Amino acid sequence: MASATFECYEDAAGQWRWRLVHRNGNIIADSGEGYASRQKCKQGLNSVKRNAPEADVVTVDVPTEPDKS
């Protein structure tokens, strides 16, 4: 059994979100944004699954701002 599971769910505002839930019930990570459809939500979480295993961990003084363009 995996120690964590991705959940894709619709929030109260009708946006789709994902979260990674540990088997003890703690939320380890979440999408941080809402998606217009379940399909887009799943694409977002699959992108995290694909890209995160090789991601470096760095310490920063000032967080990077998301690109709003």
Give the per-residue pLDDT at 53.
Answer: 82
Helix (H) or strand (E) segment spanning residue 28: strand 27-30
Counting every residue written for the chain, the total comes to 69
Domains belonging to the chain, first-starting first, are 4-49 (3.30.160.160)
Give the per-residue pLDDT at 57.
Answer: 86
The residues pairing with 19 across neighbouring beta strands, listed in sequence order, are 7, 30
Q: pLDDT tens for residues 12-68?
A: 999 999 999 999 999 999 999 999 999 999 999 999 999 888 888 889 888 777 666
